[in-house]
Amino acid sequence: MQLLNILKESNKALLIGIGGGGDIVSTIAVGAILKKLDVECIFGGVVWERFRRDPKPGPRSIEEIENCKKINSCLAWISKDSKVGDLKLIVSQVAEYAGSEVVGVDITKGEKHLYNSLKDFVESENIDIIVGVDAGGDALARGVEEGLVSPLADAIIISALSKLPSIIAVTGFGSDGELRRDELERYLSEIAAKGGLLGVSVLTKSEAEELYPFVQKVETEASRVPILAAMGYYGDYNLWDEQRIHVSLLNALTFYIDVKTVYDLSPLPKAVEGSESIEAANEMLHKLGIKTELDLEWELYKKQYE
């Protein structure tokens, strides 16, 4: 009921894939739910192609993107023709699929500038709510999980969203292979105990089948798994031929969560608050003893090119 009440009062939403890579693909599935409630949706995502696609470590700034229209310091309108060099970005692929421009989110300038950019955009575009869409559930991490690989992008976005009208939508239930199912269950229970669980939806078979041909063309696993689950897949599944996870209908669920509850329960978004560059945010997580996806990409870069 809480979720329905929030969405009934919303005419226009900005959906952001918060983890970079293919998280923006999951905004389409979440958008299908919102559109049933007559909420106009703008899709967006952090422009961070994983190292397997883009050999430059870290996310891309909007200044590096060709054929985009700058909105402000950290946001740009991305079309199907937007690219970095010869690389067609996943956000561009979603723009082509959606038949409209999407919002590219630049986190290279840190949490402080991102917050100001989102605040200005919400006001200028009459956005009622921002939905931060996380494929897999690592946005709920506390920094102590053995499998945690990519805490940096999520921490920056959640910190910024905690000061704006927003919610978090967690899809895939472990489809990124970072948090174990028991960790996700415990964190979701803690969130529910604090009144932060707003609602749950399920991706239907017909919705999944509509998305499936497009997702097959996009290099993403975390956003593909929920679609396979909704189509009835059950059993083990290999992520990037490197890691095995268990997939069931649970992976087709989306949990809608109060962003301030996520912020309150995790030290990660608090740590990066006020950062003015991604490097500064990264160092803030280092002080907590946390290794990030940016560190991993620099390690891969040095191994391959030095």
Pairing of strands 253-258, 166-171: antiparallel
Determine contact, residues 276/135, Cβ cutoff 8 Å.
no
Q: How crowded is residue 61: how many other Cβ atoms within 10 Å of its Cβ?
A: 18
User: 299-302: which pairs have CB atoms within 8 A and are 24 or more residues apart?
Assistant: 300/51, 300/57, 301/51, 301/55, 301/56, 301/57
What pLDDT is recorded for position 2? Answer: 86
Q: Which of 173, 10, 178, 30 is nearest to 94 (CA)?
A: 30
| Domain range summary for the chain, segments of one domain joined by + | 2-305
Q: What's the whole-model pTM score?
A: 0.96
Determine contact, residues 29/116, Cβ cutoff 8 Å.
no
Q: What is the mean pLDDT of the chain?
A: 95
Determine contact, residues 227/203, Cβ cutoff 8 Å.
yes
Does residue 1 register a pLDDT over 90? no
pLDDT digits (tens, 9 = 90+) for 69-110: 999 999 999 999 999 999 999 999 999 999 999 999 999 999
Scanning 204-266, the segments in alpha helix (DSSP H) are 205-215, 225-230, 259-265
